[in-house]
């Protein structure tokens, strides 16, 4: 029998989890807090479930130093569901803001308000997308499906700077963001780390900073809790849990409270229908989820518990360093692996440009992408207990996902194999 300690798993998601968390999970699945029933069997509205929610929120807030004027939501949509949710919610906020401005000018004449609002939506509604990889591309396509392609501005398609393939992020001077002098976009979306293509933003875009900055929505599914984040720069941060945080089943949303009632109103479903804009399902409605403490419908509390245990473990491990402690380890593992790849350029080729190499998803080719040699490379890795290294089916190649639960020892084992294979 293969022991867990004999294997180092580099899969991109579902990803490895800390063994200590899984061992504790096996206990609470059978008997949670000596109640005689398991964690998956308790009511999501019980005091125990509310305690789990509170503890998980506190752990995440501590790690990322989340300000008090932000809320944390848990949804069952996964990252892909949030592609839709962000459109539904932020377009609704934008529409209501424009409606209020027009109503302030023309008074109670509802017909005139609607007439002007239709014109404003038709001419001014823009959603900006920075497309730097497969997931941001899918997000932009979902936005176009929901509101129509005329309202979606692909301000950056990184393939145009890289011979039709993802792997670079062009300078911000080449981005075509909706001008702020014209009211700006309803929001700007980007994927902080592209899991498939191995591209990560090295820092927050400077062009999205400033007092008049647009609302920024960032997908951090695959680099969540791996480095410091200035949460205040974002309107919304979201991520699926199944990479760095927990098991498959939930998405986590960090949202500025000013986008929620009572500070901010959303357009009514009736108004959105009048404007031929989509009305989202209630389980993706942020005001509803926030009002109900993420318990509008049956939340998988076990999944929240796992995420909370993972994050509490990081809080206990790194103390006052908070997420900075994990960032140091993540950077060191990535440095070791990329160092080994760069050492043998005749054998390995890292796919993305060096300036945007992901610390989380290290994508490379073996012997120029020779199919037989890459197959042999993977077979050799498996014999050494290095699993999950096959690249995404859409791009092929090799991908080592360097998530938090991949130990420094695991990274060193991979480096040793890279050295052995290259010199054999």
- Other CB atoms within a 10 A radius of the CB of residue 334 amount to 21
268-278 average pLDDT score: 98
Interatomic CA distance for residues 137 and 203, integer angstroms = 20
Q: What confidence score (pLDDT) does residue 252 get?
A: 98
The pair of structure tokens assigned to 223 is 């680099």
Interatomic CA distance for residues 269 and 315, integer angstroms = 41
390-403 average pLDDT score: 96
Q: What confidence score (pLDDT) does residue 423 get?
A: 97
pLDDT above 90 (res 181): no
The pair of structure tokens assigned to 26 is 């096996």
Q: What confidence score (pLDDT) does residue 245 get?
A: 95
pLDDT above 90 (res 373): yes
Q: What's the per-residue H, E or C state across 254-286? A: EEEHHHCCCCCCCCCHHHHHHCCCCCCCHHHCH
Q: What confidence score (pLDDT) does residue 211 get?
A: 82
Token match 């200035």: residue?
Answer: 230
Q: Angle at CA 239, nearest 5°, toward 303 and 204?
A: 150
349 strand-pairing partners: 365
125-142 average pLDDT score: 98
266 or 77, greater pLDDT? 266
Q: Domain limits of the chain?
A: 56-303, 322-423
128-139 average pLDDT score: 98
106-130 average pLDDT score: 96
Q: What confidence score (pLDDT) does residue 77 get?
A: 85
- Other CB atoms within a 10 A radius of the CB of residue 73 amount to 22
Domain 56-303: assigned CATH number: 3.40.640.10
- Of residues 129, 165, 220, 191, the one with CA closest to residue 395: 165
Q: What confidence score (pLDDT) does residue 1 get?
A: 80
349 or 210, greater pLDDT? 349
- Of residues 214, 213, 218, the one with CA closest to residue 203: 218
The pair of structure tokens assigned to 266 is 């959303």
Average pLDDT, the chain: 97
Q: Which of 176-190, 191-205, 275-289 has the lowest mean pLDDT?
A: 176-190
Q: Which of 50-59, 106-115, 148-157 has the lowest mean pLDDT?
A: 106-115
How does 156-169 read in b/e, with b if 16+ C-beta sit within 10 Å? bbbbebeeeebbbb
Per-residue pLDDT band at 182 (split at 50, 70, 90): confident
Q: pLDDT digit string (tens) for 8-31?
A: 999 999 999 999 999 999 999 999
Q: Does domain 322-423 have CATH number 3.90.1150.10?
A: yes
300-325 average pLDDT score: 97
Q: pLDDT digit string (tens) for 217-227?
A: 999 999 999 99
Interatomic CA distance for residues 21 and 15, integer angstroms = 14
């Amino acid at each position: 029998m293969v022991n867990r300690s004999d294997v180092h798993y580099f899969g991109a998601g579902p990803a490895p989890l800390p063994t200590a968390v899984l061992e504790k999970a096996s206990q609470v699945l059978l008997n949670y807090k000596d109640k005689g029933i398991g964690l998956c069997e308790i009511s999501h509205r019980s005091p125990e479930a509310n305690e789990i929610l509170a503890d998980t929120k506190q752990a995440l807030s501590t790690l990322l130093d989340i300000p008090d004027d932000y809320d944390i939501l848990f949804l069952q949509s996964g990252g892909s569901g949030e592609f839709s949710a962000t459109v539904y919610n932020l377009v609704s906020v934008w529409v209501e803001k424009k409606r209020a401005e027009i109503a302030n000018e023309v008074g109670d004449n509802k017909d005139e308000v609607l007439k002007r609002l239709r014109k404003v939506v038709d001419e001014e509604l823009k959603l900006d997308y920075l497309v730097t990889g497969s997931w941001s591309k899918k997000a932009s396509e979902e936005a176009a499906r929901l509101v129509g392609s005329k309202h979606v501005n692909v301000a950056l398609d990184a393939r145009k700077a890289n011979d039709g393939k993802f792997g670079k992020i062009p300078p911000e001077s080449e981005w075509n963001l909706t001008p702020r002098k014209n009211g700006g976009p309803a929001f700007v979306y980007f994927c902080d780390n592209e899991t498939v293509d191995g591209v990560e933003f090295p820092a927050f875009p400077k062009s999205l900073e400033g007092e008049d900055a647009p609302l920024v929505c960032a997908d951090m599914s695959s680099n969540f809790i791996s480095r410091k984040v200035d949460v205040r720069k974002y309107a919304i941060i979201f991520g699926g849990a199944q990479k760095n945080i927990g098991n498959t089943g939930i998405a986590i949303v960090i949202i500025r409270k000013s986008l929620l009632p009572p500070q901010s109103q959303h357009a009514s479903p009736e108004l959105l229908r009048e404007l031929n804009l989509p009305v989202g399902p209630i389980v993706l409605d942020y005001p509803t989820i926030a009002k109900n403490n993420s318990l509008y419908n049956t939340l998988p509390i076990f999944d929240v518990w796992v995420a909370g245990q993972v994050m509490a473990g990081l809080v206990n491990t790194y103390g006052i360093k908070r997420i900075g402690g994990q960032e140091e380890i993540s950077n060191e593992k990535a440095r070791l692996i990329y160092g080994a790849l760069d050492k043998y350029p005749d054998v390995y080729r890292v796919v993305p440009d060096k300036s945007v190499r992901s610390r989380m998803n290290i994508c490379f080719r073996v012997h120029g992408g020779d199919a037989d040699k890459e197959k042999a490379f993977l077979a050799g890795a498996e014999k050494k207990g290095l699993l999950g290294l096959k690249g995404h089916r859409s791009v092929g190649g090799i991908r080592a996902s360097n998530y938090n639960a991949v130990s420094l020892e695991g990274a060193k084992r991979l480096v040793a194999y890279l050295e052995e294979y290259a010199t054999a």
